[in-house]
Amino acid sequence: MSESRARPSATNLSHRRSLHTQTTEEAPLSSPAPGHVPLRKQLKDEAKKAKAAGKKKKKKKNATNQVVPGWELTVGIEIHAQLNTAKKLFSEATTSFHDESNSHVAYFDLATPGSQPRFQKETLIPALRAALALNCDVQPVSRFDRKHYFHWDQPSGYQITQYYEPFARDGRILLQPRDGIAAEDGDGLAVRIQQVQMEQDTAKTMAQPGETHWVDFNRNGVPLIEIITRPDIHHPATAAALVRKVQILLNAVDACVSGMEAGGLRADVNVSVRRQSDDHPSDEPLGTRTEIKNLSSFKAVEDAIIAERDRQIAVLEAGGTIAGETRGWSIGATETRRLRGKEGEVDYRYMPDPDLLPVVVGDDLVAHLRGILGQLPDAEVDELTEVFGLTAKDALSLVALDGGARVEYFWRVVESLQAKLGSGSGNIANIAEHPTCFQLAANWILHELGRLTSNPHDASAQDLGFTPDGQCRRVPVDCLADIVVFLYRRRITAKVAKELLWVVYRGTVPAQYASVADAIETEKMWFHELSEEEYAELADQAVEGQEDIVSLFADFKQYPQGKLMFLVGRMMRLGYEERIDPKNAESTMRRLLEEKYVPALGGRQEES
Amino acid sequence: MRLAHPDGPRGPLHRDHRDADPGAAGRGALGKTNMDEFGMGTHSTHTPYGSVLGGSAVAVGLGHATVALGTDTGGSVRMPAAYTGTVGFKPSYGMLSRWGVVPYANSLDTVGLLAREVAPIQDIVHAVCMEHDPKDPTSLPATVRERCVSVRQYYLSSRRTQPPPPDLQSQGLRGLTFGLPIEYNIEELSPRIRDGWLQVADKIKEQGGRVVPVSLPSTKSALSAYYVIAPAEAASNLSKYDGIRYGKRASASAEDSSDALNGILYAKTRGEGFGPEVKRRILLGSYTLSAEAVDNYFKQAQRVRRLVRRDFDRVFRLSNPLLENEHDDDDDGSNKQQQQFDLSDMDESVPLESKLGPAQVDFLLCPTAPTTPPKLSDIAKQTPFDSYMNDVFTVPASLAGLPAISIPMALPKSEEDPVDFGGVQLIGQFWDDARLLAVAGHIRSKQQ
């Protein structure tokens, strides 16, 4: 995160600019380019702010702060996402994120005089996939324009983008309650997308101690898409939900490299408010909007919108007017801050790039990409809940985790389970016949796998090593499916299953044992369950001398489940734990209490 | 063959060249010559070390070089040729690779050729006209070159698709029609240049060619459009000279340790680095692209540019091979048939050939520059507008991407002006370069 792509904040602006010049704090930012705010500095600023705020009243919880009575909030969002491409947008330099600085730079990336852009048409593929996932109309002809502004991370003095004729228009994103929208948005809403355009990323600035800044041109010219929504959002939580949904969608169609947490996605929000009365719901024109730039987390999106909404309302209620300006936000802040006003706005002087030909996209390409797009997250979540009986929460987690890799892993495990449950020789099992087995698998993939990496003291254990195509380095698909099937078939106990998962995770399978089955066999971990008689015998032993407890089952207002479990616990301790299924032990104990032990008590009482 | 090329700020930087480079086709580079800063100027006076390509033109004229390379954006090869009595050729846009050329206005820039005669230029064009350069995105793809050549004569590879072209030596210019654009008979045209131009027209008639008046109604707006589009692209291109990477850095003064001016980064450096003509064009270009002016200037100029091209497409007998595949050309449509002239645009002195309009021509014939070369002392007196006016005849072909060549013409003797030559320009339809050069060579040979 030290590679934060945060745009410059007012506090460090003068600091950055003093590299080559001295300017006052008030000087307008000459560029909207994403700059660099080191995370450490951000955290320090936040701590300072928190301290300054001191014992001020606590912030309201966001969930109860979605609406201000008498006012309507309107939000439009611009999202920038790095495309998953091998090459830069206009040069054959490869895209790289961790290689040595300035090692992937072509003449054109440095704006060397005499060099020319060469559109890398392969970059269109992920861009088109993104457009399709966002339900956009792909334009048969689009063009590139130059957007002029001055900044050291922009060596040509302009960014090539698609201003006049973007490659995709008129999309929509459906948001449902499960996506985390505000309760006020009810059953859901559709947010329209105005356009999606391709453009170049800028170079990366890396702050060094003192006043030195290094510039890494590896990132310069890396392809981005910018997604621009219509102002269809009226609640802060819904705005955050939209950004999250876009990230999930882009991941699902493999259009993007990384999400917000890794700096691969960032959002700018346009916020305005207008008065609203019950009589005239919204006949007033939209209020003057401000733009908050470079939000780098979902929470920042929601918090910044709430803060900006409240600031605008306070200004208007005090009789003031809202200036159309650009504002900034730092994590944990309570207020947005002014970056530059209208007078400081850069006139981008958009001009069609005279070196670049129009991009012509054939219907056949669009149809082909649509055909191989695969299932989108909403349909996938529907399938997970309807076919596999997962809760909406679990289904959403599964789809969102590891940039979509986790759910791919699930599908591979499902495939493997179907083969293992089938009657052999290529027959696969019907999911409907074994519903609990697949639920078990989902549960393990979500929760048990999560436990493996939850040790905060072992950094090397933090990564399960998922690949986008659904493989997992640490817990191979086949191993997990074996464990799940053995557990489902009660060939092993849950306890053994969990132990086996660690064995796989640590690499003992396959290093020491050829397979999960081999490990169970070698270590004699198969579950040889007690017979009905053996359970009964064990129960008899467990109640010996426990007449006081047993008597509680004779007459009760509420069934003494706790006491039942106490007796089951005694069975487990008395017998061979590895041969006992706690459920069966429980049902045996319950049955015998009813049929045998309690009646026996009665008999004794009568005798006495 | 000895080759001169300007190697100031517009000279090629990259020498990892390919066959399509005219300079690499087995020819040695002679040296670097003189030019205007970033090629902005007409008279080679705007230089810290004195057109554009004035230095290369002089080197060719003096016989120091056989062929000189230069960029022609709005006439920067043809104009110096006219002023020095040499031959200057601007090829069809997209024929010669621009890779390595420091761009002035990319949509207009072409690599042009200067020589004393037409023949060495023809040799180069024949050698490289089929070479697509993948490094230049505006270099025409091989398939399009094939298509263009298949509908043109005098290319070596046209023989497969075209009947053998007339032998000019034996047949003269019979069968060819030359148009005199009546809108080019402007107030600023010097009477001697006009006389020289008409004499060339008479020579062409003697050779059996037909000469007819034609109308190019958008001519008057073309110069204005050029001086909107070219500075806009130039201002954009020059924004990379931002003071961070290239050249000088303004020195800090005692009270201010930075090179900022009024809080704007690098302002001093940028202010000191550019000459007055370059600054003027940056300001002009930045203004015409600004949010408040872009509709009335830049976008309007693009519309004028389409009209200029339509003018040419209507008067030429050959159709523009690029248009046949163009789907998005809103105002043109098909050009396969002769287009109906809007007679209200057209000067009434142009006779009609048929109900569709006046005669269609093979080439346009006009002066290259409206005057003989001015003296340095006169240039000093000119306003920038006066000097922009010199480009009025060369700019239309640039806007339309058409091939054009300036060859010397004799002028009537004058007591005030010792210069007894000027330049006459032939303009052809797109990719008609080979025939244009052949015909220009023939006219040139009959002048001597």
What DSSP letter does each residue of B86-128 carry, written as one string? -EEEEPPTTSS--TTPPPSSTTT-EEEEEESSSHHHHHHHHHH
* Residue A358, min C-alpha distance to chain B (Å): 11
- A34-38, B135-139, B188-192: which range is least confident on average? A34-38
- Mean pLDDT score, A285-301: 89
Q: Is the pLDDT of residue A551 over 60?
A: yes
Beta-carbon count within 10 A of B257 CB = 10
pLDDT of residue B375: 79
Does the beta-carbon distance from B290 to A27 stay under 8 Å? Answer: no
What's the mean per-residue pLDDT of chain A?
84
Query: Rounded to 5, what percent of chain A is helix, strand, coil?
Result: 45, 15, 40
Task: Report the distance separating Cα A106 and Cα A220, nearest Å.
Answer: 10
The per-residue pLDDT for range A558-597, each reduced to its tens digit, is: 999 999 999 999 998 887 777 888 888 999 999 999 999 9
Selected residues 82-141 of chain A with any CB under 8 Å from a CB in chain B: 107, 110-119, 141
Q: Is the pLDDT of residue B8 over 80?
A: no
pLDDT of residue A281: 58
Which residue among A360, A388, A404 closes a domain? A360
Does the beta-carbon distance from B106 to A355 stay under 8 Å? Answer: yes
The minimal CB distance from B264 to the residues A30, A107, A158 is found for A30
Tell whether omega for the bond before B48 is within 30 degrees of 0, i.e. cis: no
Among candidates B228, B211, B218, B169, which has minimal Cα distance to B366? B211
Q: Say which residues have a Cβ less than 8 Å from residue B230's Cβ, sequence separation at least 6.
A: B73, B74, B104, B105, B108, B281, B285
Question: Among the residues of B390-432, which ranges form H helices?
Answer: 395-400
Given a contact cutoff of 8 angstroms between Cβ atoms, the answer to whether B399 and B308 are in contact is yes
The minimal CB distance from A146 to the residues B12, B236, B244 is found for B236
Residues A161 and A301 in one domain: yes
Residues A484 and A578 in one domain: no
Q: Is residue A366 part of a domain?
A: no
Residues A148 and A280 in one domain: yes
Which residue among A502, A522, A542 closes a domain? A522
Given a contact cutoff of 8 angstroms between Cβ atoms, the answer to whether A164 and A189 are in contact is no
The per-residue pLDDT for range B80-91, each reduced to its tens digit, is: 999 999 999 999
Taking the Cβ of residue A24 and every Cβ of chain B, the question of whether any pair is shorter than 8 Å is answered with yes
- A89-98, A234-243, A527-536, B4-13: which range is least confident on average? B4-13
Residues A166 and A32 in one domain: yes
Q: Is residue A189 part of a domain?
A: yes
Does the beta-carbon distance from A116 to B245 stay under 8 Å? Answer: no
Using left for φ > 0, alpha for ψ between -120 and 50, and beta otherwise, residue A114 falls in left
Q: C-alpha A476: how far from its chain's center?
A: 23
Taking the Cβ of residue A159 and every Cβ of chain B, the question of whether any pair is shorter than 8 Å is answered with no
Question: Among the residues of B243-334, which ranges form H helices?
Answer: 267-273, 276-289, 300-315
Three-state secondary structure call for residue A148 = strand
| Beta pairing class for B28-33 and B67-72 | unpaired
Percent pLDDT > 70 in chain B is: 74
The residue among A455 and A104 whose pLDDT is bigger is A104
Given a contact cutoff of 8 angstroms between Cβ atoms, the answer to whether B60 and B89 are in contact is no
Task: Report the distance separating Cα B350 and Cα B359, nearest Å.
Answer: 9
The per-residue pLDDT for range B143-153, each reduced to its tens digit, is: 999 999 999 99
| CA distance from start to end of chain B | 23
Task: Report the distance separating Cα A88 and Cα A105, nearest Å.
Answer: 9
Which residue among A482, A500, A522 closes a domain? A522
Q: Is the pLDDT of residue A363 over 90?
A: yes
* Contact residues on chain B for A356, CB-CB shorter than 8 A: 137
Residues A277 and A201 in one domain: yes
ipTM computed for the complex: 0.84
Taking the Cβ of residue B325 and every Cβ of chain A, the question of whether any pair is shorter than 8 Å is answered with no
Three-state secondary structure call for residue A579 = helix
Residues A421 and A274 in one domain: no
| CA distance from start to end of chain A | 77
* Residue A150, min C-alpha distance to chain B (Å): 8
Q: Is residue A198 part of a domain?
A: yes
Task: Report the distance separating Cα A22 and Cα A579, nearest Å.
Answer: 78
Q: Is residue A328 part of a domain?
A: yes
Residues of B annotated as catalytic (active site), given as ranges: 76
Q: Is residue A425 part of a domain?
A: yes
Residues A577 and A510 in one domain: no
| Beta pairing class for B28-33 and B2-6 | parallel
Q: Is the pLDDT of residue B442 over 80?
A: yes
Residues A516 and A546 in one domain: no
pLDDT of residue B11: 43
pLDDT of residue A486: 92
- Mean pLDDT score, A26-46: 53
Does the beta-carbon distance from A114 to B134 stay under 8 Å? Answer: no
Give the A:B interface size as CB pairs under 8 Å: 108
Residues A242 and A282 in one domain: yes
Q: Is residue A62 part of a domain?
A: no
Given a contact cutoff of 8 angstroms between Cβ atoms, the answer to whether A294 and A34 are in contact is yes
pLDDT of residue A377: 83
The residue among B250 and B398 whose pLDDT is bigger is B398
Structural domain span for residue A595: 532-607
Task: Report the distance separating Cα B183 and Cα B185, nearest Å.
Answer: 5
Q: Is residue A463 part of a domain?
A: yes
- Mean pLDDT score, A87-110: 91
Q: Is residue A63 part of a domain?
A: no
Residues A500 and A584 in one domain: no
The residue among A437 and A14 whose pLDDT is bigger is A437
What's the number of domains chain A is made of?
Answer: 3
Residues A116 and A95 in one domain: yes
pLDDT of residue A158: 95
Residues A257 and A147 in one domain: yes
